Amino acid sequence: MAGKKVLIIYAHQEPRSMNGSLKNTAVEVLSEQGCSVTVSDLYAMQFKATATRSDITGNLCNPKHFNYGVETREAFRSGNLCKDIAEEQKKVQEANLVIFQFPLYWFSMPAIMKGWLDRVLIQGFAHNYPQCYDAGLLKELLSTLQDKLALLSFTTGGTEEMFSKEGDSGDVKYLLWPLQHGMMHYCGFKILTPEITFAPEYVTENRRKEVLTSWAQRLQNIWNEKPIICTPP
Protein backbone atom coordinates (compact mmCIF):
# COMPACT_ATOMS: atom_id res chain seq x y z
CA MET A 1 0.00 0.00 0.00
CA ALA A 2 1.66 3.16 -1.23
CA GLY A 3 2.69 5.59 1.46
CA LYS A 4 2.72 3.11 4.37
CA LYS A 5 5.89 2.89 6.42
CA VAL A 6 7.24 -0.43 7.62
CA LEU A 7 10.07 -0.93 10.09
CA ILE A 8 11.70 -4.37 10.25
CA ILE A 9 13.65 -5.11 13.40
CA TYR A 10 15.88 -7.94 12.25
CA ALA A 11 18.10 -10.09 14.45
CA HIS A 12 20.19 -12.71 12.65
CA GLN A 13 23.94 -12.88 12.18
CA GLU A 14 23.84 -14.61 8.78
CA PRO A 15 22.35 -12.97 5.67
CA ARG A 16 21.90 -16.42 4.00
CA SER A 17 19.84 -17.75 6.92
CA MET A 18 16.14 -18.51 6.73
CA ASN A 19 15.58 -15.38 8.82
CA GLY A 20 17.59 -13.42 6.25
CA SER A 21 15.39 -14.80 3.46
CA LEU A 22 12.18 -14.03 5.36
CA LYS A 23 13.42 -10.47 5.94
CA ASN A 24 14.42 -10.06 2.27
CA THR A 25 11.01 -11.35 1.16
CA ALA A 26 9.29 -8.75 3.33
CA VAL A 27 11.50 -5.95 2.00
CA GLU A 28 10.86 -6.98 -1.61
CA VAL A 29 7.10 -7.50 -1.39
CA LEU A 30 6.37 -4.42 0.71
CA SER A 31 8.63 -2.19 -1.40
CA GLU A 32 6.89 -3.41 -4.56
CA GLN A 33 3.61 -2.29 -2.98
CA GLY A 34 5.03 1.22 -2.67
CA CYS A 35 5.63 1.01 1.10
CA SER A 36 8.68 2.70 2.52
CA VAL A 37 10.63 -0.07 4.27
CA THR A 38 13.39 0.51 6.83
CA VAL A 39 15.43 -2.34 8.29
CA SER A 40 17.22 -2.14 11.61
CA ASP A 41 19.72 -4.99 11.15
CA LEU A 42 20.70 -5.25 14.79
CA TYR A 43 23.81 -7.47 14.51
CA ALA A 44 25.13 -5.53 11.50
CA MET A 45 24.57 -2.30 13.47
CA GLN A 46 26.26 -3.88 16.49
CA PHE A 47 23.29 -2.58 18.41
CA LYS A 48 24.08 -2.21 22.10
CA ALA A 49 21.83 -4.62 24.00
CA THR A 50 22.54 -3.50 27.57
CA ALA A 51 20.54 -0.87 29.43
CA THR A 52 23.24 1.24 31.09
CA ARG A 53 24.10 4.68 32.43
CA SER A 54 25.71 5.64 29.11
CA ASP A 55 22.25 5.70 27.49
CA ILE A 56 21.69 9.07 29.17
CA THR A 57 23.81 11.91 27.84
CA GLY A 58 23.01 14.62 30.38
CA ASN A 59 23.10 14.84 34.16
CA LEU A 60 21.28 12.20 36.16
CA CYS A 61 18.25 13.01 38.34
CA ASN A 62 19.71 10.92 41.14
CA PRO A 63 23.42 10.13 40.68
CA LYS A 64 23.52 8.42 44.10
CA HIS A 65 21.05 5.69 43.20
CA PHE A 66 20.80 4.85 39.50
CA ASN A 67 17.31 3.86 38.35
CA TYR A 68 17.30 3.09 34.59
CA GLY A 69 13.53 3.49 34.14
CA VAL A 70 13.35 6.87 35.89
CA GLU A 71 16.51 8.25 34.30
CA THR A 72 15.56 7.25 30.73
CA ARG A 73 12.03 8.60 31.20
CA GLU A 74 13.49 11.97 32.23
CA ALA A 75 16.17 11.86 29.53
CA PHE A 76 13.48 11.22 26.90
CA ARG A 77 11.55 14.23 28.18
CA SER A 78 14.59 16.50 28.12
CA GLY A 79 16.09 15.16 24.87
CA ASN A 80 19.07 13.63 26.63
CA LEU A 81 18.90 10.05 25.34
CA CYS A 82 21.88 8.78 23.38
CA LYS A 83 21.80 8.90 19.58
CA ASP A 84 21.14 5.23 18.74
CA ILE A 85 18.05 5.11 20.97
CA ALA A 86 16.68 8.40 19.62
CA GLU A 87 17.17 7.17 16.03
CA GLU A 88 15.28 3.93 16.67
CA GLN A 89 12.48 5.81 18.43
CA LYS A 90 12.07 8.06 15.41
CA LYS A 91 11.75 4.98 13.15
CA VAL A 92 9.12 3.48 15.48
CA GLN A 93 7.22 6.75 15.67
CA GLU A 94 6.96 6.96 11.87
CA ALA A 95 6.06 3.30 11.22
CA ASN A 96 2.56 2.00 10.46
CA LEU A 97 3.82 -1.55 10.94
CA VAL A 98 6.79 -2.96 12.86
CA ILE A 99 7.87 -6.50 11.93
CA PHE A 100 10.17 -8.33 14.35
CA GLN A 101 12.14 -11.00 12.45
CA PHE A 102 14.19 -13.39 14.60
CA PRO A 103 15.08 -16.99 15.46
CA LEU A 104 13.52 -18.23 18.69
CA TYR A 105 16.17 -18.26 21.45
CA TRP A 106 15.16 -19.93 24.71
CA PHE A 107 11.44 -19.51 24.07
CA SER A 108 12.02 -15.82 23.43
CA MET A 109 13.86 -13.38 21.19
CA PRO A 110 17.67 -13.08 20.91
CA ALA A 111 19.25 -10.87 23.58
CA ILE A 112 20.14 -8.19 21.04
CA MET A 113 16.44 -7.77 20.17
CA LYS A 114 15.36 -7.86 23.79
CA GLY A 115 17.98 -5.15 24.40
CA TRP A 116 16.40 -3.10 21.62
CA LEU A 117 13.05 -3.33 23.43
CA ASP A 118 14.62 -2.49 26.81
CA ARG A 119 16.38 0.58 25.48
CA VAL A 120 13.99 1.90 22.81
CA LEU A 121 10.49 1.29 24.19
CA ILE A 122 11.04 3.29 27.35
CA GLN A 123 8.58 4.94 29.69
CA GLY A 124 7.31 8.27 28.40
CA PHE A 125 7.91 7.19 24.81
CA ALA A 126 6.08 3.84 24.51
CA HIS A 127 4.05 3.65 27.74
CA ASN A 128 3.41 5.65 30.86
CA TYR A 129 1.10 3.90 33.31
CA PRO A 130 -1.93 4.03 33.10
CA GLN A 131 -1.21 4.66 29.42
CA CYS A 132 -0.58 1.04 28.57
CA TYR A 133 -2.17 -1.88 26.66
CA ASP A 134 -5.03 -0.38 24.59
CA ALA A 135 -4.01 3.08 25.86
CA GLY A 136 -0.27 2.53 25.24
CA LEU A 137 1.55 5.50 23.80
CA LEU A 138 2.30 3.69 20.52
CA LYS A 139 -1.34 2.90 19.83
CA GLU A 140 -1.48 5.06 16.74
CA LEU A 141 0.58 6.87 14.17
CA LEU A 142 0.39 10.45 15.43
CA SER A 143 0.17 12.04 11.97
CA THR A 144 -2.84 9.95 10.81
CA LEU A 145 -4.25 8.40 14.02
CA GLN A 146 -4.15 4.99 12.27
CA ASP A 147 -3.46 1.94 14.45
CA LYS A 148 0.19 1.08 14.81
CA LEU A 149 0.68 -2.61 14.05
CA ALA A 150 3.25 -5.14 15.24
CA LEU A 151 3.93 -8.58 13.81
CA LEU A 152 6.29 -11.23 15.16
CA SER A 153 7.90 -13.35 12.44
CA PHE A 154 10.17 -16.01 13.88
CA THR A 155 11.74 -19.36 13.19
CA THR A 156 12.12 -22.25 15.62
CA GLY A 157 14.31 -25.28 16.09
CA GLY A 158 11.36 -27.37 17.27
CA THR A 159 8.70 -28.72 14.96
CA GLU A 160 5.06 -27.61 14.92
CA GLU A 161 4.10 -30.85 16.71
CA MET A 162 6.54 -30.06 19.53
CA PHE A 163 4.84 -26.67 19.97
CA SER A 164 1.32 -28.17 20.11
CA LYS A 165 -0.76 -28.69 23.24
CA GLU A 166 0.41 -32.29 23.52
CA GLY A 167 3.98 -31.63 22.37
CA ASP A 168 7.13 -31.53 24.56
CA SER A 169 7.48 -27.74 24.25
CA GLY A 170 3.80 -27.07 24.95
CA ASP A 171 1.36 -24.83 23.14
CA VAL A 172 3.15 -22.01 21.31
CA LYS A 173 0.53 -19.57 22.65
CA TYR A 174 2.29 -19.58 26.03
CA LEU A 175 5.50 -18.16 24.62
CA LEU A 176 3.56 -15.70 22.46
CA TRP A 177 1.80 -14.26 25.51
CA PRO A 178 4.77 -12.36 27.04
CA LEU A 179 6.05 -11.24 23.64
CA GLN A 180 2.79 -10.10 22.09
CA HIS A 181 0.81 -9.08 25.15
CA GLY A 182 3.46 -8.21 27.75
CA MET A 183 5.69 -6.26 25.38
CA MET A 184 3.95 -5.16 22.15
CA HIS A 185 0.38 -4.74 23.34
CA TYR A 186 1.61 -3.10 26.57
CA CYS A 187 3.01 -0.29 24.40
CA GLY A 188 -0.27 0.06 22.50
CA PHE A 189 0.51 -1.85 19.31
CA LYS A 190 -2.30 -3.78 17.67
CA ILE A 191 -1.00 -7.27 16.99
CA LEU A 192 -1.21 -9.14 13.70
CA THR A 193 -1.17 -12.95 13.56
CA PRO A 194 2.40 -14.16 14.16
CA GLU A 195 4.28 -15.74 11.26
CA ILE A 196 5.93 -18.84 12.70
CA THR A 197 8.33 -20.82 10.55
CA PHE A 198 8.76 -24.10 12.36
CA ALA A 199 12.05 -26.00 12.13
CA PRO A 200 13.44 -24.60 8.83
CA GLU A 201 16.67 -26.57 9.37
CA TYR A 202 14.82 -29.89 9.31
CA VAL A 203 12.56 -29.52 6.28
CA THR A 204 13.35 -29.85 2.59
CA GLU A 205 14.60 -27.04 0.39
CA ASN A 206 11.26 -27.15 -1.44
CA ARG A 207 9.32 -26.78 1.80
CA ARG A 208 11.41 -23.73 2.72
CA LYS A 209 10.66 -22.19 -0.66
CA GLU A 210 6.94 -22.86 -0.11
CA VAL A 211 7.16 -21.11 3.26
CA LEU A 212 8.75 -18.04 1.66
CA THR A 213 6.11 -17.99 -1.09
CA SER A 214 3.33 -18.22 1.47
CA TRP A 215 4.90 -15.35 3.50
CA ALA A 216 5.12 -13.26 0.32
CA GLN A 217 1.45 -14.00 -0.46
CA ARG A 218 0.40 -13.05 3.05
CA LEU A 219 2.30 -9.76 2.82
CA GLN A 220 0.46 -8.86 -0.39
CA ASN A 221 -2.71 -8.61 1.68
CA ILE A 222 -1.23 -7.52 5.01
CA TRP A 223 -2.99 -4.15 5.16
CA ASN A 224 -6.40 -5.83 5.08
CA GLU A 225 -5.66 -8.08 8.07
CA LYS A 226 -7.53 -7.51 11.31
CA PRO A 227 -5.56 -7.45 14.59
CA ILE A 228 -5.83 -10.46 16.89
CA ILE A 229 -6.73 -10.61 20.57
CA CYS A 230 -3.55 -11.44 22.45
CA THR A 231 -4.63 -11.24 26.10
CA PRO A 232 -3.48 -14.01 28.48
CA PRO A 233 -4.39 -17.58 27.45
Task: List residues near ligand FAD by CB under 6 A.
Answer: 12, 14, 16-19, 21, 103-107, 155-158, 200-201, 205, 208-209, 212
Question: In 67-172, which residue ranges form alpha helices assigned H by DSSP?
Answer: 68-78, 83-94, 111-120
Nearer to ligand FAD, 76 or 102 (CB): 102
| Shortest Cβ 62–ligand FAD spacing (Å) | 36
User: Burial of 56 by CB count in 10 Å (0-12 exposed, 13-18 middle, 19+ buried)?
Assistant: buried
* Euclidean distance between CA atoms 187 and 179, whole angstroms: 11
Nearer to ligand FAD, 53 or 209 (CB): 209
Residues whose CB is less than 8 angstroms from the CB of residue 99 and which lie 6 or more positions away in sequence, other chains included = 6, 7, 8, 9, 26, 150, 151, 153
Residues whose CB is less than 8 angstroms from the CB of residue 140 and which lie 6 or more positions away in sequence, other chains included = 146, 147, 148, 188
Nearer to ligand FAD, 47 or 125 (CB): 47
* Euclidean distance between CA atoms 120 and 92, whole angstroms: 9
In order of 113, 151, 166, the CA distances from 102 in angstroms are: 8, 11, 25
Nearer to ligand FAD, 21 or 72 (CB): 21
* Euclidean distance between CA atoms 47 and 121, whole angstroms: 15
Nearer to ligand FAD, 32 or 160 (CB): 160
* Euclidean distance between CA atoms 150 and 209, whole angstroms: 24
| Shortest Cβ 93–ligand FAD spacing (Å) | 29
Q: Check: CB of residue 115 under 8 Å from CB of residue 50.
A: yes
Nearer to ligand FAD, 18 or 42 (CB): 18
Nearer to ligand FAD, 90 or 209 (CB): 209
* Euclidean distance between CA atoms 128 and 124, whole angstroms: 5
